[in-house]
A and B are shown apart, each in its own frame.
Chain A
């Protein structure tokens, strides 16, 4: 239990630092793309904390802008993909059986592609760029959410409170929104946290191989590609700092995802002991 608290605390602290960095990034947008050839390839020091790249752009400013890009695009892609996945899950869970069977098969087929390659294919089809890469990543997120939430939605239909709501004549859409969606809350939040890290990794991977955000944009993956060109001549800072930011972000999000179920279970257990009569309506804790 103590371990979980330490873990969740670490995640929150790391994420707070990253959010600060992202906010700084919003103000540093101009600096991040200002070319200053006279100060190219300056090593890290007091003037430029993370040094400058081959065109004299400040690496710290670029990493900060990259943070805001990564957090915004990661959360955005998961929100859109998760939302679509939720809708599919509700259709599967509350709709006719045959539709469920068809959709599940289709979701399995989409999940047969490794995320990076599916996202890559979609991105290539629509033309390279950060926005199309986001579309590609959303396509990989939808089946993950739909598949997990569908199982939960199916379970919900056999719960007494859903059956009771059916008995008093609620329409299926009303039932879905008012009773099933809240039931899926915990699973949804765990999935969100678990997917944001992956999404950020895939997005930077796409940019790294040249399909996602294009070079002038200070996106981490694209910056690491640029850093590679300078790595062999000794300018390590250009590629190392963006990757470090990427690593810290993904680890922080994964730590958070890892501790959500335990924290929720603990909170639920406390609530149950203090208000035993509420037990029947409390959502079941999700297994880790």
Chain B
């Protein structure tokens, strides 16, 4: 997990002195496109041009040379590399991600069908992580002392946690084979329940919209353990970040001024310290997203969760190369996109960055 290394991601871009926000945005966008282009080259080189023969992977080791040649021609593997690369980028950009023979459908269709499950899981995990981190970090920064020490140790341990192992332990302790409080690895709903009418594809949301509280609570119970397993690493990371940010802000002179005006310590902390500490953490959205993507790959298969992470793992086990290829490049695109959106959001939200002509 790259999450402890804070150096990842888009660099702060230095804007030219003239031209203002528009020019800055253009340069930024150009940089993002450049990174994406290079990322596609990297994934092309790794997945297409290195020793392993994709055609051989598709047809298996026992295929005759004729079949192999046929598949090679069909995939365009006999064309020059630059042509293959252009085709690769075009196919990715136009969502033609190839045919997944292990699923018997186009990769795009498989991913689209499985995306809501992953999205729902990731959204709840994100919610758990953010709420948990804000509460723990604020208390740790406000109270200090033993609570802060415990919070620090717990978040350090959390960062080093193998999510798939936590998933196993949670099933053993709380799941069907332990206390039996929550369902074990049995997908998104209890088998006798019908999925709610499709609106968003998220069972918890759709269940509420359809006015079926039983579906909602059942879906939530099935979500709880995988979402907690998924939330641990981003939660620990955000806790550390928010605690450090709040401790920094709490020491700044303006907080002393606020306090001298008669604002209580808690009010000052909540209104001023917490608010100012939240903003910089927006720029770590990319890292959080990356950890959720990685986590979904590791956790979904433990819980038999029918999301895209499970598709990837099954694709690996069945040597279904098209799935792996699409997933890997997609993860990079999402990561870069999240970083870009976060950069823009911070620039819009933080008045200090709204200086015309770019500040240093």
Binding site for B on A (CB under 8 A): 3, 104-106, 108-118, 120-122, 124-127, 140, 144, 147-148, 194-195, 197-198, 201-202, 204-205, 208-211, 221, 224, 227-228, 231-234, 236, 239-240, 242-243, 246-247, 250-251, 253-255, 257-258
CA distance A16 to B331 in the complex (A): 38
Partner of A113, one of B42, B168, B185: B42
Q: Which of B4-12, B87-95, B108-116, B259-267 contacts A (4 or more CB under 8 A)?
A: B4-12
> Which secondary structure dominates where chain B touches chain A?
helix
**Known interface pairs A205-B298, A224-B168, A254-B159; A126-B35 also in contact (CB < 8 Å):** no
Partner of A202, one of B1, B8, B34: B1
**Known interface pairs A112-B39, A125-B46, A197-B160; A236-B298 also in contact (CB < 8 Å):** no
Q: Which of B76-84, B170-178, B203-211 contacts A (4 or more CB under 8 A)?
A: B170-178
Partner of A109, one of B7, B41, B294: B41
Residue of A nearest to B166 (CB): A243
The answer to whether B290 touches A114 (Cβ under 8 A) is yes
Shortest CB distance A281–B (Å):
27
Partner of A224, one of B4, B5, B10, B165: B165
Q: Mark B40-72, 1 if CB is under 8 A from A, else 0.
A: 011100110011100000000000000000000
The answer to whether A108 touches B160 (Cβ under 8 A) is no
**Known interface pairs A122-B46, A144-B5, A243-B165; A117-B52 also in contact (CB < 8 Å):** no
The answer to whether A112 touches B332 (Cβ under 8 A) is yes
CA distance A109 to B8 in the complex (A): 10
Instruction: Determine if B302 is an interface residue (Cβ-Cβ < 8 Å).
Output: yes
User: Which one of A105, A109, A110 has the highest number of Cβ atoms from chain B below 10 Å of its Cβ?
Assistant: A109
Shortest CB distance B267–A (Å):
29
Instruction: Determine if B139 is an interface residue (Cβ-Cβ < 8 Å).
Output: no
Shortest CB distance A202–B (Å):
7
**Known interface pairs A112-B39, A254-B156; A126-B50 also in contact (CB < 8 Å):** yes
CA distance A270 to B36 in the complex (A): 47
Residue of A nearest to B301 (CB): A209
> Which secondary structure dominates where chain A touches chain B?
helix
The answer to whether B35 touches A125 (Cβ under 8 A) is no
The answer to whether A117 touches B168 (Cβ under 8 A) is no
Partner of B297, one of A144, A209, A240: A209
CA distance A232 to B176 in the complex (A): 8
Residues of chain B contacted by A122 (CB below 8 angstroms) = 46
CA distance A117 to B325 in the complex (A): 10
Residues of chain A contacted by B47 (CB below 8 angstroms) = 121, 124-125
The answer to whether B177 touches A211 (Cβ under 8 A) is no
Residue of A nearest to B38 (CB): A109
Residue of A nearest to B50 (CB): A125
The answer to whether B164 touches A113 (Cβ under 8 A) is no
Instruction: Determine if B359 is an interface residue (Cβ-Cβ < 8 Å).
Output: no
Residues of chain B contacted by A209 (CB below 8 angstroms) = 297-298, 301, 313, 316
CA distance A236 to B313 in the complex (A): 23
CA distance A195 to B4 in the complex (A): 9
CA distance A233 to B176 in the complex (A): 10
CA distance A109 to B39 in the complex (A): 5
Give 13 new A-B contacts, CB below 8 A, not counting A113-B335, A209-B301, A231-B171.
A108-B10, A109-B35, A112-B332, A112-B335, A114-B293, A115-B1, A115-B2, A116-B1, A122-B46, A124-B324, A240-B168, A247-B162, A250-B161
Shortest CB distance A194–B (Å):
6
Residues of chain B contacted by A227 (CB below 8 angstroms) = 168
The answer to whether B316 touches A120 (Cβ under 8 A) is yes
Residues of chain A contacted by B7 (CB below 8 angstroms) = 144, 147-148
Listed by A's residue number, 22 A-B pairs whose Cβ atoms lie within 8 Å are A105-B38, A113-B43, A114-B2, A114-B290, A115-B1, A117-B297, A117-B331, A121-B328, A125-B47, A127-B52, A144-B8, A198-B1, A198-B5, A224-B168, A233-B177, A242-B165, A243-B168, A246-B162, A247-B160, A247-B161, A247-B162, A254-B156
Instruction: Determine if B184 is an interface residue (Cβ-Cβ < 8 Å).
Output: yes
Residue of B nearest to A107 (CB): B38
Q: Mark B136-177, 1 if CB is under 8 A from A, else 0.
A: 000000000000010000001101111011001101100011
Residues of chain B contacted by A195 (CB below 8 angstroms) = 5
The answer to whether B1 touches A201 (Cβ under 8 A) is yes
The answer to whether A251 touches B156 (Cβ under 8 A) is yes
CA distance A221 to B301 in the complex (A): 14
Instruction: Determine if B336 is an interface residue (Cβ-Cβ < 8 Å).
Output: yes
Shortest CB distance B80–A (Å):
20
